Amino acid sequence: MPLTGYLIASKFRVIVHCLSHEQSMTCFPLSKGPEECQPHRTITLVNVNGNHYMSVFLKENYPMPPTTPYWNAHRNSSASAWKAMYWSHFELYNQLTSQAMQAHDQTFAESYNTEPNFGYLILLSESVSEISDIRISDIRNFGYGFGYQ
C-alpha cells in the first residue's frame, strides 16, 4: 500500500493516510507543495482484518502518522513544505504512541494474562462496536475524534 498511497496523493493532490496494525503512514504528494494543492483534502484508508480497506473521515487536528523514508528520498523541494506545515500533527501522534506504549508496558507488567494493548492507531466509527481484534475502548483511549461514512 505505501507506493499506492503516493500514487494517489500525487495524482489527485491529496494527503493519504494508510492505517494498519503493521504500519501507519502519511503520504503527501511527491512533486507538489501544500500551496499548490489547495484546499488540503485527505483520504484515510484503514486496513481491516488484513484483507480489505475502509475509508474513514477524520475530524480536525487529528494525530498524523509519520511519512516514510520513500517520501523523504523522492519528494522534490517544494513538497518538503508539507512536513513543516503538519508538524504539530506528527508531534501529537508521537506523544500518543509513546503514551500507549507506556500504558502497554505498565499493563503487561501488572498482569501478563490480560489482553495486551499494543497501541494500534486505527480510527473507526464510534457507532462500530467491534472490528477484528481491535477494541474500540483502546481506540478511544487515544483521544481521537473521527467521523465515518
Using CA atoms, how far apart are residues 60 and 52, in angstroms rounded to an integer? Answer: 25
Pairing of strands 42-48, 15-19: parallel
Tens of pLDDT along the chain (149 residues) come to 668 899 999 999 999 999 988 889 999 999 999 999 999 999 999 998 888 889 998 888 899 999 989 999 999 999 999 999 999 999 999 998 888 777 766 654 454 444 444 443 444 333 333 333 444 444 444 444 444 43
Q: What is the pLDDT of residue 60?
A: 82
- Quick one: 55 exposed, middle or buried, by C-beta within 10 A (0-12, 13-18, 19+)? exposed
Using CA atoms, how far apart are residues 18 and 47, in angstroms rounded to an integer? Answer: 8
Per DSSP, the three-state class of 15 is strand
Per the confidence metrics, is the pTM higher than 0.75? no
Q: What's the structural domain count of the chain?
A: 1
The residue segments making up the domain with residue 54 are: 2-148
CA 93 distance to own-chain centroid: 8
